Amino acid sequence: LGPDIVSPPVCGNELLEVGEECDCGTPENCQNE
């Protein structure tokens, strides 16, 4: 994988992407902050 990969920010892929405040693994965990 490289830095040029384009994908929409997804809460649940365990990666903190642009526009995300958290990404703990699952949407449920993300909401439990």
17 is in an annotated binding site: yes
1 is in an annotated binding site: no
20 is in an annotated binding site: yes
16 is in an annotated binding site: no
32 is in an annotated binding site: no
Kindly report the number of other CB atoms within 10 A of residue 11's CB atom.
21
Q: Which two tokens stand for residue 9?
A: 């920010």
29 is in an annotated binding site: no
Spatial distance between the Cα atoms of 28 and 33, rounded to a whole number of angstroms: 9
Binding-site annotation: residue ranges for Ca(2+): 10, 13, 15, 17, 20, 23
Provide the annotated binding site: 10, 13, 15, 17, 20, 23
